[in-house]
Structure 1
Amino acid sequence: MTFRIARKVDGFAVAPRTETVVVGERQLFGPFDIQEYGRQLQVDVDNAELKLTPIRI
């Protein structure tokens, strides 16, 4: 899965954060700073069967 970073450095996009989730595994990711990731977290996945559950702490 890829978490897109909204912030730019010197006008250039910052490389997105990527994480690997193994089949049958559960993982927690975060925290996601608004200044880095923006007000809406943008996530790309490469498998339609991946289930995401957002939580707020």
Structure 2
Amino acid sequence: MRIEVAWWDLGADDPEPDELAASPAIQQAFGEWERVPNLTTKLWLVSRDARRWGP
């Protein structure tokens, strides 16, 4: 099993997590991840209060 976590601290000038998730580039990445062989789960984590976001 392999687990990879990427977690970004968003600054005051960065977009909100919902804006990031709705962006065309992220939507394209969602589609690409769905086609990864043997990948059973892909989670995107959001902490709106702490302004953190990531897969």
Answer 1 or 2: higher relative contact order, Cα 8 Å, separation at least 6.
2
TM range, smaller chain: 0.3 to 0.5
Structure with higher strand content? 1
TM-score (norm 1): 0.32
